[in-house]
Structure 1
């Protein structure tokens, strides 16, 4: 099932396809608990992440009977609401680690060896935006001459959550997947700050639940900036696969329903400038188009 959050933070199921035309069916009223339209207190979404298996059938039934609306007639939001945290994996593709030596030499004048090792760090949830928004480059960052880079990534949304989740059971704790852009200022300073500016975590266009998405070790990721192909990789090239990322993160902090995990940047990261339009795609998960200003 493909779940979307749209307009005044309503819940939709994406119907149709790229051939017949994708539409959205409003299934908000099928939720068995109150819908709070305030994105800051949207406990209904976190409850849906936790209890999705129990409401899946009623959402599917509501989608089948609803009058579908063209996607062009709604405002797609980021397909998550109020996560307690965004966890991001660092240095998870060997070719990206290799390219970062040159990036750091150019932007920092040195290589930071510790940043070439796999680890996890936090990003601010307030950085999340959706397909209808823009990436806004901070004027002070541009004035200082710092590069701002795109990083297209597979993003995991946690379902049931937990602590010390074994890798063998990790995928049972995943609600689904979406496309994410981890926008990054290349400068000195903490990763979390450089990746947490408002609008620096675009997500979308919707969330595809794990039962429909397929194997997270076999997704094709592409990113184009305008007509230029920047990134192209299969998630099978991850150094630390999705189950191990979930297990590692949960060994440090309790994962709760609705938490968001960025799984690491593929090779091909590069600068973005005002006026650019980014087009990120992941096989089976859709396409995310977003402008830069």
Structure 2
């Protein structure tokens, strides 16, 4: 099942990648359109298995609305945190030596090791929004890079989750861009500007994806291929990432985990058009300004 948030943060089931059916009324609890107080969303992430039959019936019986007639929102509401994974593809680690030499004048060895860090939830934006480059960053001449990634949407959550059980705690998967300023500053600061976490176009539930290690991630800038990789090339796979993160912080339903940048990162500039896709999930087309 593919679940989208649209218009006034209503819940839709995407059909054939071309339309959606509004299934908000099939939820067994009240729908709160305010993203700040929308606890219904976290409850859906936690309890989706118990309502999936009702959502499927509503999708089969409801009216299909073409996607071009709705405004898709980021498929996440007020997550308690965005966890991001660093240095999780060997070829990306290799390319970052050259990127850091060019942008910092040195290589930071500690940044070449796998780990996790946090991004501000306020950096989230949806598939209908442009990426906005901060004026001070542009004026300072810093490069701003795209990083297209598979994103885990936490379901039941928990702490100290065993790697063997980790996928049972996943509600689904979506696509995210970890937009990054290349400068001499903390990762969280450089990656947390507004619109620096585009997310979408919807969530494909975990039961439909199955094993997340066989997905293809692609990103083009102005029609030029930049990134093309399979998730099986991750150094640390999704179950291990979920388990590792849960040892440091309790994962809460609706939290997001960016699983790491594939190789092929590069600068984006005002006027660029980005097309990003992940097999089994969908595609986003974003502008830069």
TM-score range, shorter-chain basis? Answer: over 0.9
| Aligned pairs, number | 289
Instruction: List runs of 5+ in structure 1 lacking aligned partners.
Output: none
1:187-213 Cα offsets, whole Å, 9 max, x none, are 011000100000000010000000012
Instruction: List runs of 5+ in structure 2 lacking aligned partners.
Output: none
Out of 125, 129, 145, the residue aligned to residue 121 of structure 2 is 125
**Corresponding residue of 1:62:** 58
State the shift of 1:16 in Å: 2.2
Out of 159, 163, 171, the residue aligned to residue 163 of structure 1 is 159
Residue 175 (structure 1) aligned with residue 171 (structure 2): yes
Out of 259, 277, 280, the residue aligned to residue 276 of structure 2 is 280
**Corresponding residue of 2:11:** 11
Per the alignment, in what secondary structure is the counterpart of residue 160 of structure 2?
Answer: coil
Out of 141, 146, 161, the residue aligned to residue 142 of structure 2 is 146
**1:1-293 map, 5 Å:** 1-17=1-17, 22-293=18-289
Instruction: Find the aligned partners of 1:173 and 1:5 in 2 and give their Cα distance.
Output: 21
TM-score w.r.t. the length of structure 2 is 0.99
Runs of 4+ in 1 over 4 A off after TM superposition: none
1:127-178 Cα offsets, whole Å, 9 max, x none, are 0011111100000000000000000000000000000001100000000000
Per the alignment, in what secondary structure is the counterpart of residue 257 of structure 2?
Answer: strand
State the shift of 1:9 in Å: 0.4
TM-score w.r.t. the length of structure 1 is 0.98
State the shift of 1:214 in Å: 2.5
